[in-house]
Amino acid sequence: MKSRLFKLIAIAFVILVVVGIKMVVNNSLRSNNIKNSNVIALNNKTKINSNKNKEIKKQQTTNAQIKRQKQIDLEKTWKIGYDQFFKQEYKQAISTQRQVIKEDPNFYKAYAVEGIALAYSGNFNEGMKQIDHALKLKPNYGYGRFNKALANELFANYDEAIKWYKKDLEVENYEWSYYGIASIYGRRGDVKNAIKYLKLAIDISPSIKNTAKNEKDFNNVRKNKEFSKLISIGN
């Protein structure tokens, strides 16, 4: 009887051990499955984030390329208007620069060309307004300063013109600013200053002699020997 009882106890113990082992194994498998699921989820999340970052970078690159191309196109249009001004096609130049400004209100160079074209069309106040706006956007823009001087010279505001030619020379060594100052002094019959500034222009660009030879602004100083020597082609 005792032997049978002992066997039953032993069997029960073995069964309990087996059940316990099975539970441990199942728990271990369940834990591993959870860990694996978490790893997979993390990997998927990382992959999604990586793809998302790639898409963002791709979009940023595309946007930068579009912006860069837009600026290239605007530069080309601006140059057309710039050339139109020098061909004395003032109305066309104004229209072209307004197209640029419509596309990009911060394109300061377009305001400078539109402004000087307006001035040459007889509209000084509106032209100066546009030139001033160019300088508001970019205060050290040399061509904007030069155009402000040129517009003032065109309307006989000579002191203001000299002031702005000199302001242009603060940011660039531009021969035509020296020439503009020289021509104003030439009108006034100021031989000394006419020669001084014209020489500075010629030092940068000797071909300016050819322009000065036929420049009516120098009629009041042309007979001066030193001035005549300065613009002589042989010198």
Q: Answer yes or no: is 214 within a domain.
A: yes
The average confidence (pLDDT) of the chain is 88
pLDDT tens, 217-230?
999 999 999 999 99
Q: Answer yes or no: is 138 within a domain.
A: yes
The structure tokens listed for 116 are 């000087």
Q: Answer yes or no: is 105 within a domain.
A: yes
pLDDT score of 24 more than 60:
no
pLDDT score of 19 more than 60:
no
- Of 110, 131, 157, at which residue does a domain stop? 157
- Of 157, 187, 220, at which residue does a domain stop? 157
DSSP secondary structure letter of residue 3: H
- Report the domain count for the chain: 2
Q: Answer yes or no: is 81 within a domain.
A: yes
**Pick from 182, 213, 215: which is nearest to 200 by CA?**
182
Q: What is the pLDDT of residue 8?
A: 60
The mean-pLDDT minimum among 13-27, 169-183, 198-212 falls in 13-27
**Pick from 208, 140, 214: which is nearest to 179 by CA?**
208
Distance CA 109, CA 191 (A): 35
- Tell me: do 116 and 140 sit in the same domain: yes
For residue 194, what are the CA distances in angstroms to 31, 53, 212, 213, 227? Answer: 95, 64, 11, 13, 8
Q: What is the pLDDT of residue 64?
A: 79
**Pick from 163, 174, 108, 100: which is nearest to 135 by CA?**
108
The domain in which residue 79 lies consists of 65-157
Q: Answer yes or no: is 107 within a domain.
A: yes
- Of 157, 183, 208, at which residue does a domain stop? 157
pLDDT tens, 31-70?
666 666 676 766 776 767 767 777 776 666 677 788 889 8
- Tell me: do 180 and 142 sit in the same domain: no
Q: Answer yes or no: is 113 within a domain.
A: yes
Residue 1's CB is within 10 A of a number of other CB atoms, namely: 5
Q: Answer yes or no: is 227 within a domain.
A: yes
- Tell me: do 70 and 151 sit in the same domain: yes
Q: Answer yes or no: is 118 within a domain.
A: yes
